[in-house]
Amino acid sequence: MATGTPLERKPLTFAERTYVPQILSGLKTTWQHLVRPKETLEYPEQRPAIPPGYRGVPTLVKDPHGREKCVSCQLCEFVCPPKAIRITPGEIAPDAPTGHVEKAPKEFEIDMLRCIYCGMCQEVCPEEAIFLQNQFSMTGYTREEMVNNKARLYELGGTLPDDHFKWDKKLEAEKHGNAH
């Protein structure tokens, strides 16, 4: 066991026991604080700055061409610790422009009464389709209102830049006859 450093305890002096020095130094501190900059924020008129990488409300995003990115692999649904996500997978018609992606979610619901903003869905998503963005306050009057459906998730998410265009590359490769 490490030997600790004993902490010093000095008895109060007579002056300290009268409590007068404390009152005076207390007043001094109070005056100093009157001129110090204010630390509080008048929420909601003033809003705090949100740093990049903040874990706010999870949303679904589209790629810069406005195409759906989620392929309903259901990995986020699986990993979500409080089971807030519910996905109904759907098919994309083969003759659609993104037909080679084959799958997209028919319905995608995130129950914001269950979500704990842990960010695991974003972490595991292999398509970079789900992101926790800046919004931090969600309110509603009913339980139903607090469940974000697919349309609402896309509305909240908007479009984010894409570094990969994974499926375009795949289509390119398939055209040249070397899938994978």
Partner 1 sequence: MASEFSYPDSAAKAAAGAQAAPAEFQTEKMSLSMGPSHPSTHGVLRLQMELDGEILTKADPVVGYLHRGDEKIAENMTYNQFVPYTDRLDYLAPLANNMAYAIAVERLAKLEVPARCQAIRVLTAEMARISAHLMGLGAFALDVGAWSVLLYALEEREKLYKLFEELTGARFTTSYTRIGGVTRDVPEGWLARTNAFCDQFLPILEEMLKLLTRNKIFMDRTVGVGVISKADALAYGLTGPNLRGSGVGLDLRKDKPYSGYEQYEFDVPVGTKGDCYDRYLVRGEEMRQSVRIIRQVIGKFPDGPWYATDAKRIFAPPKDKVMSSMEELIQNFMIVTEGPQIPAGEVYFEAENPKGILGFFIVSKGGGVPYRLKIRSPSFCNLSILPKVCVGNLISDVVSILGSLDFVMGECDR
Would you tell me which residues interact with partner 1 (CB under 8 A)?
Answer: 1-7, 9, 11-12, 16-17, 19, 22, 25-26, 29, 39, 51-55, 75, 78-79, 81, 116-120, 123-124, 126-128, 132, 163-164, 166, 180
Contacts 24+ apart (CB under 8 A), 79-82: 79/120, 79/121, 79/123, 79/124, 80/115, 80/120, 80/121, 81/116, 81/118, 81/120, 82/114, 82/115, 82/116
Closer to partner 1 by Cβ: residue 96 or 116: 116
Pick what 71 binds: ligand SF4, partner 1, none; C-beta below 5 to 8 Å, kind-dependent.
ligand SF4
Separation of alpha carbons 174 and 178, rounded Å: 5
Please tell me whether residue 71 binds ligand SF4 under the rule CB under 6 A: yes
Closer to ligand SF4 by Cβ: residue 115 or 156: 115
Residue (of 117, 145, 147) closest to 132 by Cα position? 117
Pick what 101 binds: ligand SF4, partner 1, none; C-beta below 5 to 8 Å, kind-dependent.
none
Q: What is the DSSP string of 42-77?
A: -TTTS-PPPPTT---SEEE-B-TTS-B------HHH
Pick what 2 binds: ligand SF4, partner 1, none; C-beta below 5 to 8 Å, kind-dependent.
partner 1
Please tell me whether residue 72 binds ligand SF4 under the rule CB under 6 A: yes
- 153 near 144, Cβ under 8 Å? no
Closer to ligand SF4 by Cβ: residue 40 or 149: 149
Closer to ligand SF4 by Cβ: residue 21 or 81: 81
